[in-house]
Amino acid sequence: MRLGVSLPVLWSLGGLYVILAIASAAVQWLRWRQPEIQRNELVLRIRSWWMIVTIFTVAMVMSRNLSVAFFAFVSFLALKEYFSIVAIRRADRRVLFWAYLAIPLQYYWVAQAWYGMFIIFIPVYVFLLLPMRMVIIGETREFLRAAGTLHWGVMTLVFGISHIAYLLVLPDEKNSGAGGAGLVLFLVVLTEFNDVAQYVWGNMCGRNKIIPKVSPNKTWEGFLGGVATTTLLSVLLSVWLTPLQLDTAVWAGLLISAAGFVGDVTISALKRDIGIKDSGSMLPGHGGILDRVDSLTYTAPLFFHFVYYLYY
Amino acid sequence: MVSSLLRFLFYGVFIRLLVLIVLGLNVRHRERLPDNGPAIIVANHNSHLDTMVLMSLFPLRLLPKLRPVAALDYFLGSRLFSWFTLNIVGILPIKRIVSRGDANPLAPCHEALAKGEVLIIFPEGSRGEPEKLQSFKSGIARLAESHPAVPIIPVFLHGLGKALPKGEALLVPFFCDIFVGERLVWTGDRRSYMRALDQRMTQLADEGDFPAWE
């Protein structure tokens, strides 16, 4: 039987379950040792991770097109969450419909591996179309704010996220071991690992605030600890999953950890602007979809162009 | 038989998928919903989706007992539409405009409650402006007075008036918020009951700090 993915990808996915099992066991042990401390949030968070990893695994091993559709659905959920929390003008209800329509089209270009269209469709065509549709409706009050709000959402959550999916359709022979799925796994695992690592380092030895106005809990110690750990993991995983060499793997690790931090605090700034803590309630313990894909909105396009420039 | 199967498919499959995938719900205090009839769910009304979403919050075993109370003049139009609303949506039609000599317009509600059914009522009377609370009509107080033992549960809905407002045919996806309130017990007279209900709805609405929809 020929599976949809290569052996290194399967092993790495298996590794995720091992890590989750260890995390679950560690939490159980902590609860047994210190029953007086409430850890509901942590328990919920890990339970959600099990769910995310399981859905991700199914999406990755079934078939390439299904994996692309999976990321289209992630974009849809994230964009829906975004439109539901930001202030949208009543007049723009029908414009949102066109913004949503950009999702199936954008991912269709991805599935077709039509790079030229994939890379300009949203920055050029959708960018020009949405204001035109708004003008036809004719509401000029807060026009610029509305246009900016719509475009920022479509750019980060559809265009940005779709770069993960485009990794899947890059020619397999350039990454003979693991193929496009290997690059996706590398990017997603490092990005999420970096989130956790920065949080853990920050908790253990965080002292100096890095960006107190936006995210008062983020510290220099957390950031630098995360960068170091993620870069180390990047070097280890790159051998299996990517065509990167030692030097480029170090650069990729630095890029993903730094960009992940920026993506995280950018969504934090958005939430702070609106005045909410979590973007939704879809993922118990995490918040909403936006709280989980925030870092990916930065790491996906940047990592994509890094490998695309160097190897494809 | 056929229509109850179709109703099961409509609510059990189509509406659930629509609610789960196209919309997405954020439900607070779901445990306050009754697990059996008779009961009355009272909600603000902005969209045809309101009924569908409220129905989807209950387990399918209760489906035969769920009856959205709806305006006879609006929902019993052409024959096909009437068949759909009566058999598939399963509405309990009542008269909005009562003329002299008519029977008690709430009689069908009394009957349904006596049979142990769960009524879904929108006391605002119509869907109105999207995402704006209107004052409740007092028919609900009459029902409460006649059935002081029946639990009446206020529910605040937000976002459905954005997804599918009155007068629009194009559904645009939004996450919707549903805040279930605590059971409201009969206060002894209609006026204070209406005041208590209004107050409860405003409190629920204030639980979410939603940006204005203008």
User: What is the per-residue pLDDT across B25-53, written as a single tens digit (0 to 9) for each?
Assistant: 999 999 999 999 899 999 999 999 999 99
Q: How many domains does chain B fold into? A: 1
Q: Hey, is A257 helix, strand or coil?
A: helix
B103 occurs within a structural domain: yes
Average pLDDT over all residues of chain B = 90
Q: How deeply is B210 buried, as exposed, middle or buried, from its count of CB atoms within 10 A (0-12, 13-18, 19+)?
A: middle
Q: What does the pLDDT look like over A8-27, one tens digit per residue?
A: 889 999 999 999 999 999 99
Question: What is the three-state SS of B8-67?
Answer: HHHHHHHHHHHHHHHHCEEEECHHHCCCCCCEEEEECCCECHHHHHHHHCCCHHHHHHEE
Residue of A75, A86, A90 for testing the chain B interface, max B β-carbons within 10 Å:
A90
Please indicate whether, in this complex, the C-beta atoms of A84 and B172 are within 8 angstroms of each other: no
Is A87 in Cβ contact with B173 (below 8 Å)?
no
d(CA A235, CA A228): 11
**Within a 10 A sphere around the Cβ of B10, how many other Cβ atoms?**
20
The residue ranking higher by pLDDT, A301 or B86, is: A301
Contact B175 A81 (CB under 8 A): yes
Cβ contacts of residue A139 below 8 Å, gap of 6+? Answer: A89, A91, A92
pLDDT of residue B148: 92
Q: Has residue B214 been placed in a domain?
A: no
Q: How large is the average pLDDT for residues B109-137?
A: 89
What one-letter code names the amino acid at A223?
F
Average pLDDT, chain A: 93
Q: In what order do the strands lie in the sheet with B66-71?
A: B25-28, B176-180, B152-158, B39-43, B118-121, B66-71, B92-94
Cα distance between residue A189 and residue A52, in whole Å = 12
Q: Residue B116: left if φ>0, alpha if ψ -120 to 50, beta else—which one? A: left
Residue length, chain B? 214
pLDDT in the model for residue B3:
87
Kindly state whether B162 is in contact with chain A, defined as any CB-CB distance less than 8 angstroms. yes
Q: CB–CB of A97 and B214 under 8 A?
A: no
Query: Which two tokens mark A182?
Result: 């290997």
pLDDT at A4 over 70: no
B173: closest chain A residue by CA: A80
Q: Residues of B with CB below 8 A from A276's CB?
A: 209
What six digits make up the tokens of A234? 């990047």
d(CA A121, CA A159): 9
CB contact under 8 A, A81 and B170: no
What is the pTM for the complete model shown?
0.93
- pLDDT at residue B146 above 70? yes
Residue-range definition of the domain harbouring residue B104:
2-207
Residue B38: is the preceding peptide bond cis (ω within 30°)?
A: yes
Q: What is the pLDDT of residues B192-202, one digit of tens each?
A: 999 999 999 99
Q: Does any CB of chain A come closer than 8 Å to the CB of residue B175?
A: yes
Amino acid at A272: R
| Alpha-carbon gap: B175 to the closest alpha carbon of chain A (Å) | 6
* Residues of A contacting chain B (CB within 8 angstroms): 76-77, 80-81, 83-84, 86-90, 93-94, 96-97, 100, 274-276, 280-282
Task: Give the model's pLDDT for residue B2.
Answer: 85
With beta carbons under 8 A apart, name residues in chain A contacting B164. Answer: none
Contact A90 B173 (CB under 8 A): no
- pLDDT, tens digit (0-9, with 9 covering 90-100), for A139-184: 999 999 999 999 999 999 999 999 999 999 999 888 877 888 999 9
| Residues whose CB falls within 8 Å of the CB of residue A34, separated by 6 or more in sequence, listed in order | none
Domain harbouring B106, CATH code: 3.40.1130.10
Strand pairing category for B152-158 and B176-180: antiparallel
Please tell me which of the candidates B26, B172, B209 has its beta carbon nearest to residue A93. B172
Q: Which chain A residue has its CA at the smallest distance from B213's CA?
A: A90
Cα dist. A59→A62, B18, B169, B176 in Å? 6, 22, 33, 27
Partner-chain residue, chosen from A76, A90, A281, that has the shortest CB–CB distance to B213: A90
Look at residue B32 and tell me if it is in a domain. Answer: yes
ipTM for the complex shown: 0.89
CA distance A257 to chain B (A): 31
User: How long a stretch of residues is chain A?
Assistant: 312
Give A-chain residues touching B173 at CB under 8 angstroms: 76, 80, 83, 100
Q: Which residues 75-94 of B are in CB contact (within 8 Å) with A?
A: none
Nearest partner of A47 among A295, A285, A246, judged by Cα: A285
List C-alpha distances in Å: A252 to A157, A195, A297, B66, B112: 22, 16, 16, 57, 66
The answer, yes or no, to whether residue B102 has pLDDT greater than 80, is no
Query: What is the average per-residue pLDDT within B7-15?
Result: 94
Instruction: Give the Cα separation of A149 and A145 in Å (integer).
Output: 6
Judge: B173–A76 Cβ closer than 8 Å, yes or no: yes
**Domain presence at residue B213:** no
- The residues pairing with B177 across neighbouring beta strands, listed in sequence order, are B26, B158
B169 has a chain A CB within 8 A of its CB: no
* A52 pLDDT higher than 80: yes
In sign, the C-alpha dihedral spanning B27, B31, B35, B37 is negative
**B97-126 mean pLDDT:** 87
Please check whether residue B109 lies inside any domain of the structure: yes
Tokens of B88: 């598939």
Among A84, A281, A282, the residue with its CB nearest the CB of B174 is A84
Instruction: Tell me the mean pLDDT in the region B121-145.
Output: 87
Measured CA distances, A25 to A40, A56, A239, B66 (Å): 15, 22, 29, 44
Q: Is the pLDDT of residue A2 over 60?
A: no
Assess B167–A contact: CB distance below 8 Å, yes or no.
no
Under the banding of pLDDT at 50, 70 and 90, the label for residue A3 is low
Please give the Cα distance from B177 to B158 (Å, whole number).
Answer: 5
Lowest mean pLDDT among A102-106, A130-134, B40-44, B187-191: B187-191
Q: Is the dihedral of CA A78, A80, A85, A91 positive or negative?
A: positive
For residue A1, the model assigns a pLDDT of: 39
